[in-house]
Amino acid sequence: MTAISKVPPLVTVFGGSGFVGRYVVRALARRGYRVRVAVRNPHLAGHLLPLGNVGQIQAVQANLRVRWSVDRAVQGADYVINLVGILHESGRQTFEAVQGFGARAVAEAARAEGAKLVHLSALGADAQSEAAYARSKARGEQAVLETLPDAVIFRPSIIFGPDDSFFNRFASIARLSPALPLIGGGETRMQPVYVVDVAEAIARAVDGQVEGGRIYELGGPEVKTFRTLMKDMLAVIDRKRLLVSLPWPVAGLMGSLLGILPNPLLTRDQVTMLKSDNVVSAEAISEGRDFAAIGIDPQAADAILPSYLWQYRKAGQFTRPNAA
């Protein structure tokens, strides 16, 4: 008599085609989970299919602003992961719609299905913040815990890795511009965290290795100022550029002007966020709500940046050290 194999658990990943999403999908697929990637444009998620076996990864259409599509994407799922977030508002994609209403919609759909939920927020989430982004992130966290008290919430610092929107963006500017702006003098402290480490934390939460009902803060092994990070980036791409301090009022004005563009390089809200450090709190460390509590030893940016920033060197990977 042939034994009937057990069907692997199904995980629905909202925002699975994005920067963080592709690493989360890969981590889940390697563990043998069935993965349903819920995205606004499934036809643009084909690059995820080779990350798993045939039929293991499926892309479906869903929009956090359309509740019935969220319910449909969660149907039959054992676990739900919400990675959806925006850095600036555009049309109907507002902070409140995506990171407030959207987070609640996903949590309510997961609760109705009896699924476990993992929610990706961000360091700096604060209901009292002057930045709309931070306030919406805090409202999303509140909505999640009100709906599913045993949900796992992760707050990462600046996430880096291939295709990131931080180091890649400034390296691209450095390739064309003789100077880089340091908003507020570049003294804001950050704790860059490798995207692979964030994905591993999320996958371990699905595995049941992370205690629910808590907000975890994820940061890399080093805390550096924005100025130092720019120096590190320039060293990797072998380019010498002026680092020009930009006073807060001037940065705010630039953010207001650039924020009008479809894909702004800077917004006033982002300038406001930069006035606060983006590092793991002492409370999170003492209360066991960091990487150490999950059993992950995060990787440093210095060890990873050369693996993908070489493309910004004058001769790419063939550039000799100090040739620029």
Q: CATH number for the domain including 24?
A: 3.40.50.720
Domain count, the chain: 1
- Whether 188 maps to a domain, the answer reads no
Q: Which domain holds residue 21?
A: 10-150
Model pLDDT, residue 238? 95
- Whether 2 maps to a domain, the answer reads no
Who's near 235: CB < 8 A, 6+ residues apart? none
**Average pLDDT along the chain:** 94
- Whether 244 maps to a domain, the answer reads no
- Whether 125 maps to a domain, the answer reads yes
- DSSP-assigned states of every residue in 3-28: PPPPPPPEEEEETTTSHHHHHHHHHH
Nearest to 142 by CA among 114, 105, 104, 112: 104
- Whether 136 maps to a domain, the answer reads yes
- Whether 94 maps to a domain, the answer reads yes
- Whether 98 maps to a domain, the answer reads yes
Compute the half-sphere exposure of residue 318: CA atoms within 13 Å on the CB side of its CA: 1
Dist. CA 189–CA 225, nearest whole Å: 4
Model pLDDT, residue 3? 54
Q: What would the pLDDT profile of 226-240 be if each residue is shown by its tens digit? A: 999 999 999 999 999
Q: What would the pLDDT profile of 48-80 be if each residue is shown by its tens digit? A: 999 999 999 999 999 999 999 999 999 999 999
Q: C-alpha distances in angstroms, 265 versus 154, 232, 323?
A: 26, 21, 29
| Contact predicate 47/187, CB 8 Å | no
Model pLDDT, residue 5? 63
Nearest to 153 by CA among 64, 206, 213: 213
- Whether 97 maps to a domain, the answer reads yes
Strand partners, 12: 36, 80
Q: What would the pLDDT profile of 119-143 be if each residue is shown by its tens digit? A: 999 999 999 999 999 999 999 999 9
Chain centroid to CA 324:
32
Task: Give the residue-averaged pLDDT of 209-225.
Answer: 98
pTM of the model: 0.95
